[in-house]
Structure 1
Amino acid sequence: MSVLRRVGMTLGLPVILLAAWWFASAGSTSFFFPPLSEILDSLVEEWFGPRLAADVWPSLYRLAAGYALAVVVSLALGVLIGTSRTVRALTEPVFEFFRAIPPPVLVPIFILLFGLGDGMKIVVIAFGCMWPILLNTVEGVRAVDEVLSDTGRVYGLRGWSRLRRLVLPSASPQIFAGLRQGLSVAIILMVISELFAAENGLGYAVVQAQRSFAIPETWAGMLMLGLLGFLLSLLFRLVESRQLAWYHGLRRAQRSS
């Protein structure tokens, strides 16, 4: 019953909004606001048809590559900075400087450095979404309980064993918070990076449809982006709930006590 309730709470509001949109636009004759039925027809025919391989999969590849690169770099740097006051003091001004620069502003520079191919787009995504992951990792590592840290030393936890068994599990709730924020930023930057000298991708296809005044295709592309974000968020929540099952169980036990 709890599973059905979760599904109902997750899908209830989107279904209601789509139903309201369907009936409100049913008799629309506006060129810029076509009926939802036309938009859904375009979504099925175009975005789940030829554009799936031509535009959706390339976008997902860039998103996955950029996000994975950001996760690896951010976790490595975050653990290093969080465990060393010296490294943190040296790197904090530099990171604060680069964090304040909007990634889209750096796109022309990345084009000069990495060309017009997928490499540039992957770097834009990685650069933009690494900051929430990095900062949350640093704060999570710094916030490791001192009692747990002292207990680990008593039991001889050193080096990699201490990192794997103590530091990362303790910091994992905050790390996952950064990963969730980074995923949202990655989706946005995936679209932005495809607006510059691209030949395929979701962002490129939506802009091309808009410039061609293919209004149903434009709306369908935006629906596709929303659907992609929803599915990725749902997948992330499933992974997070599995990896942090011990943490959520502990929170429930504390609330019930």
Structure 2
Amino acid sequence: MTDATRPIAQETRLARLTGKSAVSDFRLIALLVLGTVAANLALAETGFWRSLSFIAIPAGFVVLVVICERIGRHVRPARRAAYEKALAFGFPAAVLALWQIAGDTGMINTTWFPQPSRIAAGLWDMTIRYDKFSQTSLLGRPWLIPQAFSEGGFAGVWTLLSESHVLATVARVFIGFVLGAIPGILLGVVMGVNQTVRLMLDTTLSAIYVLPKIAIFPIVMLIFADPFGEGPKILVVALAVFILMTINTMAGVRGIDNVYLMAGRNYGAHGWQLMRHVILPGAMPVIFAGLRIALGTAMIVIISVEFLRAKQGVGFITFYYWEVLNPEKMYAGLVVVMLLGVLLTYLLQWLQRRLMPWQR
């Protein structure tokens, strides 16, 4: 074999091996699918599926992972992004479909675990319905904004939107998040660069961090003249975010490699220049990781507070429908909470891409 024909032969051999691997993986996938379906049907027909579900469900998940990995081996690089998106969105869709089937066939108790279709219907009803008793709605009836503006201007639009449960929760989270994150980042930077401040405050912050934020809410209420107003709700969110951001920022600043600090000083950076061009960019990944955690904590805290002491908000309506034993709308409220978490996280990631262009 000459040097000219050797690469062609190697490519041919590689193509044959790839083809054999694809056939083998396809056979394995077909065997796993048929075996899993047959096993679940057999358990369902004999009446043992519900009692053995704690084994059947994890086993089915393992089989699904193996199938997806085998398929992923043969996905072309050009289609890799589409494949990953299919995994990210396909798995939740499959779970919802199985949930629907399990409810329709009586495998689960639909009184307490209603099918996704019933939850979607409850969410739609919450969206279009206006509660005349509490004078609230889920979104604030945005379809009436043109009419409200023509009748009362911006004041009419504000009155319309102020009835929204979603906007009430988002406003509390946003204001508390900003009020807690900014001073938390500033204090974390100071603690990261100054050992004296760090030694003075580190133990105190660690002690406050482990306190359940909902447990200090009654104390926070006593600080304000109106304990049932918006101030206590926002402040308890700000406190939770402040503690998290202080600790994460301090860790990010202290985790910067000394090589970068020495390089900055060698180029003449001192004081504010060193802070702006070396310390803050170096700590930014950890700061944004802390912001994501703090955002999730803020959502958890405000939903818990709205459970206890609120007449408006997503947490309030979720707890209200639990009290009146309406599980469809209770689950719909939880769906709204999850959607808010996803949307706010995407907004935070968008901000991260703008402030950290070097990571693109």
1:27 is displaced (CA, Å) by 5.3
- Tell me the amino acid that sits aligned with residue 312 of structure 2: N
Q: Structure 1 residues 225 and 116, CA, compared in 2 at 3 Å: closer, same or farther?
A: same
Which residue of 38, 55, 60 maps to 2:118?
38
**Equivalent residue number for residue 106 of structure 1:** 216
Q: Whose helix proportion is higher, 1 or 2?
A: 1
- 2: CA distance, partners of 1:149 / 1:36: 54
- Tell me the amino acid that sits aligned with residue 34 of structure 1: P
Q: Return 142-151 or 197-206, whichever deviates more.
A: 142-151
Task: Using structure 2 for the length normalisation, give the TM-score.
Answer: 0.64
What is the root-mean-square deviation of aligned Cα atoms in Å?
2.1
What SS does the corresponding residue of 1:38 show, helix, strand or coil? helix
Contact 1:133 1:175 in 2 (8 A): yes
1:208 is displaced (CA, Å) by 1.0
Larger radius of gyration: 2
Q: How does 1:195-234 map to 2 (within 5 A)?
A: 195-234=307-346
1:193 is displaced (CA, Å) by 1.4
Q: Structure 1 residues 30 and 142, CA, compared in 2 at 3 Å: closer, same or farther?
A: closer
**Equivalent residue number for residue 61 of structure 2:** none
Q: Return 43-52 or 70-79, whichever deviates more.
A: 43-52
1:119 paired with 2:197, answer no
- 2: CA distance, partners of 1:214 / 1:90: 51
- Tell me the amino acid that sits aligned with residue 89 of structure 1: L
* Number of equivalent positions: 248
- 2: CA distance, partners of 1:73 / 1:38: 44
1:23 paired with 2:84, answer no
1:243 is displaced (CA, Å) by 4.0
Q: Return 57-66 or 4-13, whichever deviates more.
A: 4-13
Q: Which runs of 5+ in 2 are unaligned?
A: 1-78, 130-136, 141-163
Q: Percent identity?
A: 30
- 1: CA distance, partners of 2:127 / 2:313: 11
Task: Using structure 1 for the length normalisation, give the TM-score.
Answer: 0.88
Contact 1:59 1:202 in 2 (8 A): yes
- Tell me the amino acid that sits aligned with residue 191 of structure 2: I
What SS does the corresponding residue of 1:109 show, helix, strand or coil? helix
Listed one character per residue, the Cα deviations across residues 69-91 of structure 1 (whole Å, up to 9, x for unaligned) are 12101111001111101111111
1:2 is displaced (CA, Å) by 4.8
**Equivalent residue number for residue 8 of structure 1:** 86
